[in-house]
Amino acid sequence: MEEVEEPVSPTGQYLNSSALCIYILGVLEFEIPIDDCHTFSLLQDVFLPINTRFSSVMIGDHNGQRKWKKVEVKLEEHINVPIFPTRSNLLYDDYLDEYLSKIAMEHLPQNRPLWEIHIIKYPTSNAAGTVVFKLHHALGDGYSLMGALLSCLQRADNPSLPFTIPFSKRPKSSFNTIKVLKRFPSFFFSAFRSVSDFGWSILKSSFLQDDQTPIRSRGEDTKLRYITISNVSFSMENIKEVKSKLGVTTNDVIAGLIFLGIRLYMQEVYVESSKSQSTALVLLNTRNISGYKSVKEMVDKTNYSASWGNRFAFLHIPIPKLSDSNLANPLEFIWKAHKEINRMKNSLATPLTGMLLNMVKKFKGPEAAAKYVRSTLRNSSTTVSSIIGPVEKMSLDNQPIKGLYFMVAGPPESLTITITTYMGKVRIAFGLEKGFIDKQKMKSCMENSLEKIILAARNISA
């Protein structure tokens, strides 16, 4: 029986509008050939019960407000098993790349629940088979959807044990009068910086565009941008080695690595662009919780607002320019990333921007707010988002999963970067505007970036 479930959140409306339509592709690489005989029962009994949004469509009521309406799900409409041409070398990497590019630019029908699954039964250099979940970003953010995915999977070594997720523990804050008094003068400076950051954020979203560079074209489009997807994998041990040497966070090291890799790519394509004005929008999870929730906790209304949905914010982080100084000492990219990300996390610019979006929605409507978000994305050079995966190997229906990464499709940028950690590996994936960014060169520059950073860290005196 059809029934109206719940209002669509403001962010959900922004992400599914005429101005902006964003999708998430989750790619699971299997260790053995895929047996899909239980696909229907797994989707019906495990996936759909996680959240009513997976069996709902987005509708508008008589007041113009959008809501999730529960409908009957015809699973056969959501399952795709492509047939590739036979080839002699038995590996289908090129076909998989083309297929991912194809589905990334296709819109999901709005008259059925906003997700689909693609089962690719062909071997590649990375896997014996690949499963791709395509979900509309309006359903939830990476945190929500990763939690949902983990609820469908089991540990390959022991299905009865929970996954280990390496979330950092948030330090407990304690009130101390002396500390407050000592920090009182810094409050005014912090307030001034927050206002300054908020003003700059408005300018960046409205008027100030990044320079045109080898990673930022001026090509405007109203449909999904045609992208090609590439990725590179690093050992977490290498990242931790640099982290311990510098006393920063894992995210700081990865951000610095990415920024240096981007500048190295710019330098290779056009030397002068390595000193251009370029900005990365780094996504920050705004939930005050650590660790993913179980299925029961996710659907529990008392935890729902904290665990599910789109709860993230953009941090405008300038990409450091490439100079003789930081090329000689690439660790400067990590220090600058550390400084900027910490400063923006503690700034009030992010909540102020959220308040501004709510005001735009209230007085001009959700489409106007969606255009503001699109402008924010369009005026930057790249978006960087990350998901933390488990330490142990996962399995789906007793089929072990060798690798995991995701990609965001639909942003109006030429370059989108995602980071996934899984089984001691860091997977950095790139959504690259096809015909504009060279994916092999970008991959090579990222690998070169890590080599330079590791070498510089090891040269630090003990």
The Cα 428–Cα 417 span in angstroms is: 7
> CA 387, CA 408: separation in Å to the nearest integer?
12
Task: Give the pLDDT confidence score for residue 195 in this predicted structure.
Answer: 76
Q: Rounded to 5 degrees, what are φ and ψ at 438?
A: -80, 110
Using CA atoms, how far apart are residues 390 and 372, in angstroms rounded to an integer?
A: 35
Q: What is the largest CA-CA distance in the chain?
A: 73
Long-range own/partner contacts, residues 298-305 (CB < 8 A, 24 or more apart): 298/50, 298/51, 298/144, 298/147, 298/148, 298/151, 299/49, 299/50, 299/51
- Supply the pLDDT for residue 220: 63
Please tell me the predicted confidence (pLDDT) of residue 345.
78
- pLDDT at residue 168, rounded to an integer: 55
Chain-centroid distance of CA 23 in Å reads 10
The answer to whether the predicted template modeling score (pTM) of the entire model surpasses 0.85 is: yes
Among the listed residues 98, 120, 422, 393, the one whose alpha carbon sits nearest the alpha carbon of residue 230: 98
Measured CA to CA, the distance from residue 332 to residue 335 in angstroms comes to 5
* pLDDT by 10s per residue, the chain, length 462: 445 568 888 888 889 998 899 999 999 999 999 999 999 999 999 999 988 899 999 998 766 678 999 999 999 999 999 999 987 777 899 999 999 999 998 999 999 999 999 999 999 999 999 999 999 999 988 788 888 888 889 999 999 998 888 765 544 444 344 443 444 455 555 676 777 777 878 888 888 899 999 999 876 655 567 899 999 999 999 999 999 999 999 999 999 999 999 999 999 999 999 899 999 998 877 655 555 555 455 445 555 455 666 666 788 899 999 988 888 899 999 999 999 988 887 777 777 887 888 888 888 888 898 899 999 999 999 999 998 899 999 999 999 999 999 999 999 999 999 999 999 999 999 999 999 999 999 999 999 999 999 999 999 865
Q: What is the pLDDT of residue 1?
A: 44
Token digits of residue 16: 């599914």
**The predicted structure's pLDDT at residue 302:** 52
E-strand ranges in 341-434 read 382-388, 394-396, 399-409, 415-422, 425-433
Do residues 294 and 274 make contact, with C-beta atoms less than 8 angstroms apart?
no
Helix (H) or strand (E) holding 334: helix 331-345
Tell me the two tokens of residue 216. 């930022």
* Domains of the chain with bracketed CATH: 3-155 (3.30.559.10), 180-288+305-388+412-458 (3.30.559.30)
**Rounded alpha-carbon distances, angstroms, from residue 115 to 35, 47, 56, 224:** 21, 11, 10, 16
Does the CA dihedral 343-429-403-149 come out positive or negative?
positive
Q: Return the structure tokens found at 237.
A: 């041990």
* Whole-number Å distance between alpha carbons of 433 and 409: 11
Q: For residues 448 and 272, give the distance between their C-alpha atoms in angstroms, rounded to a whole number.
A: 20
Closest CA to 419 of 452, 444, 383, 377: 383
